[in-house]
Amino acid sequence: LCSQSRAAEPGEAVKKDLQHLSREERRRRRRATAKYRTAHATRERIRVEAFNMAFAELRKLLPTLPPDKKLSKIEILRLAICYISYLNHVLDV
C-alpha cells in the first residue's frame, strides 16, 4: 500500500544519536575511531619523514670533522647558526 515505511539506513540512526552531542564531543568520538587513528598515524609518519629528510639535507651542507659524524637535530641547528654567522662574517670582510 504505502511505500514510505521503509527501514532507516544504518548511518541515519548514528547521525541522529550524534546530533544531540556538542561539537567537541562529536569531534572526540570521531577521533576515537580506528579509521581516524590509522589515517592520523599515516599523516604523522609522512610528516616526521619529511622533517628528518630536511635535517639530513641541512646536515649535508654543514662542514664537520669527521664529515660523517652523527649529529643530533639540535646540534645540526646550532652548527647551522654558527656556520651562517661565519659566512656572513666572511662576506662582510
At residue 84, the 3 state secondary structure works out as helix
Contact 33, 18 (CB under 8 A): no
Q: Which fold has domain 10-92?
A: MYOD Basic-Helix-Loop-Helix Domain, subunit B (4.10.280)
In the chain, domain spans: 10-92
Q: Which amino acid is it at 52?
A: N
Interval 15-22 mean pLDDT: 73
Residue 1 in this model has a pLDDT that exceeds 60: no
Query: Mind listing the pLDDT tens digit for each residue in 37-65?
Result: 999 999 999 999 999 999 999 999 999 88
Distance CA 2, CA 61 (A): 76
Residue 18 in this model has a pLDDT that exceeds 70: no
